[in-house]
Structure 1
Amino acid sequence: MTIFGAIGIASTGLTVHRKWLDAVSDNLANISTVRATSEDAFQQKYVVAQAMQDGGVQVAGVLEGSAEGRLVHEPTNPLADEQGYVRYPDIDMSSQMTQLIMAQRGYQANAAVVDRAKETYAAALQIGR
């Protein structure tokens, strides 16, 4: 593998981890989004990654969780139905925080690979002078 190959593969990892961070951030931002029971709850997003033939990884798609959510009794909420229920997304905060940490660490690792490859390339240029 060449230095440029390492940069290319690491950049695909950066892209996937950035998309994963975006999805987790979106999930966390909408964890308290309330909707009427007649509407769908916010749907949690899951990033699906797949290996590429020439190395690296790519986003194969973004799946969405259940639109059913969870019903919460909040009779004072303006969106409450006749029985006093509203719909919240079924998102687990601890799971999302764990995924956030994993995505951050993956992004950092790929960024470090790009930095090391650039340093190696710069050192090789210095040797050639």
Structure 2
Amino acid sequence: MSLYSVMDIAGSAMSAQNVRLNTTASNLANANSVASSAGETYKARHPVFAPQLQQALQGGPGQSSMRQSSAVGVQVLGIVESDKPLVMEYAPNHPMADENGYIYKPNVNAMEEMANMMSASRSYQTNVQLADTTKQLLSRTLRMGQQS
């Protein structure tokens, strides 16, 4: 695997973590929203990732296990809504209450979202450091060729 492939992998990972940070920010921004029905209530969203390993694997046993030109990265398959139950709260005096006096709140757990945000941020930071180290290695390799 070349150092350029490492940059592609780090780039795909940073892009995936950016999606994760954006969905987490959206969840936190809507955590305290209120609706008058379950259908209108915001539902927590989470990205689904898949390693792109199948694209990089080649042939069967006995053959080279990785193609030289292909990098194994991360792919965002999509964003799914959480299937956790919504929070129903009895608040008959609330202006958004339904005919039974209930308001509906999102199924967003702020603690989980903060943990997701910290994890995504750390992962993003790790991949930035990986890309920087790779850049330094490429630069040193080029300088070695100049000294000869």
- In structure 1, what is the equivalent of residue 10 of structure 2? 10
Alignment size in residue pairs: 129
- In structure 1, what is the equivalent of residue 145 of structure 2? 128
Structural RMSD (CA): 1.6
- In structure 1, what is the equivalent of residue 34 of structure 2? 34
Residue segments in structure 1 that go unaligned for 5+ positions in a row: none
Stretch deviating more after TM superposition (32-41 or 43-52): 32-41
Return the alpha-carbon distance in structure 1 between the equivalents of residues 20 and 98 of structure 2. Answer: 35
Superposed CA deviations along residues 35-85 of structure 1, whole A, max 9, x for unmatched, are: 112643101111110011231111011111238511112223211123321
* CA apart distance, 1:102: 0.9
* CA apart distance, 1:5: 0.6
Larger radius of gyration: 2
* CA apart distance, 1:120: 1.0
Runs of 4+ in structure 1 deviating by more than 4 angstroms, as ranges, are: none
Return the alpha-carbon distance in structure 1 between the equivalents of residues 45 and 39 of structure 2. Answer: 18
Share of identical aligned residues, percent?
A: 27
Give TM-score, length-normalised by structure 1. Answer: 0.92
* CA apart distance, 1:124: 1.5
Contact 1:74–1:84 (8 Å) recurs in 2: yes
Residue segments in structure 2 that go unaligned for 5+ positions in a row: 57-71
